């Protein structure tokens, strides 16, 4: 039995020695290797992100342009919105027997970051032709955002006919340049 106790003690000492050696080898060499491996994989992920960054930037710019168009910020018309709007409406009116009755001055509202231009257009004509003009302005030309459209009919007492008028309000947003 005495031999067996020494054998058990040897096994226990060997197991304790193995555990101590594992801790020592981890703290002296394995830990550094594992840390370097983690840094290397992190750098690889950063490299992948850097390589895909131009396409992500392009995607974000396209989304921003889409949002700006949806709220009425069109960079192509930011120079003189009123002039371009008048040209498009006048051109349509001449071609489709619609009368442009009023085109008042632009109303400006400034905020810290944006300037809002509001234009009013009053048109007289056929319902279908007025709706076609509104559709063209909103969907095809994309000059700005149509924020209001109001139809009103008035009786012309000289001729006895009823005339249809449409009042359109356009808004266009511009970024204020803080220099």
For each of the domains in the chain, give its residue range(s) and CATH number, in order of start. Answer: 1-70 (no CATH), 75-175 (3.30.70.60)
With cut-offs at 50, 70 and 90, classify the pLDDT of residue 167. Answer: very high
What integer pLDDT is reported at residue 165 of this predicted model? 93
Q: Judge residue 79's burial from the number of C-beta atoms within 10 Å of its C-beta, 0-12 exposed, 13-18 middle, 19 or more buried.
A: exposed
Phi, then psi, of 79 in degrees rounded to 5:
-75, -60
How confident is the model over 42-88, as pLDDT tens digits? 999 988 888 888 888 888 888 877 776 666 555 454 457 788 888 88
Cα separation, 64 vs 43, in Å, equals: 30
How confident is the model over 106-152, as pLDDT tens digits? 888 887 777 888 889 999 998 999 999 888 888 887 777 888 899 99
Token pair listed for 66: 């889409």
What integer pLDDT is reported at residue 43 of this predicted model? 92
What is each CA distance from 65 to 61, 73, 122, 178, in whole angstroms? 6, 8, 29, 20
What integer pLDDT is reported at residue 55 of this predicted model? 84
What integer pLDDT is reported at residue 166 of this predicted model? 93
Beta strand pairing status for 145-156 and 114-124? unpaired
Which residues does 111 contact at the CB level (< 8 Å), separation at least 6? 176
């Amino acid at each position: 039995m005495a031999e067996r106790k020494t054998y058990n003690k040897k096994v226990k000492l060997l197991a304790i020695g193995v555990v101590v050696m594992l801790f020592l080898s981890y703290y002296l060499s394995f830990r550094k290797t594992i840390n370097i491996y983690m840094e290397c994989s992190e750098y690889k992920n950063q490299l992948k992100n850097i390589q895909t960054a131009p396409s992500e930037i392009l995607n974000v710019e396209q989304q921003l342009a889409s949002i700006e168009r949806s709220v009425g910020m069109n960079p192509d018309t930011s120079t003189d919105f009123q002039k371009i709007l008048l040209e498009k409406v006048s051109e349509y009116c001449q071609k489709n027997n619609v009368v442009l009755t009023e085109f008042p001055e632009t109303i400006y509202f400034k905020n810290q970051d944006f300037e809002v231009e509001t234009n009013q257009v009053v048109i007289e004509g056929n319902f279908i032709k007025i709706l076609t003009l509104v559709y063209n302005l909103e969907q095809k030309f994309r000059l700005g955002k149509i924020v209001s459209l109001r139809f009103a009919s008035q009786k012309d007492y000289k001729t006895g006919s009823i005339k249809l008028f449409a009042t359109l309000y356009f808004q266009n947003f511009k970024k204020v340049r803080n220099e």
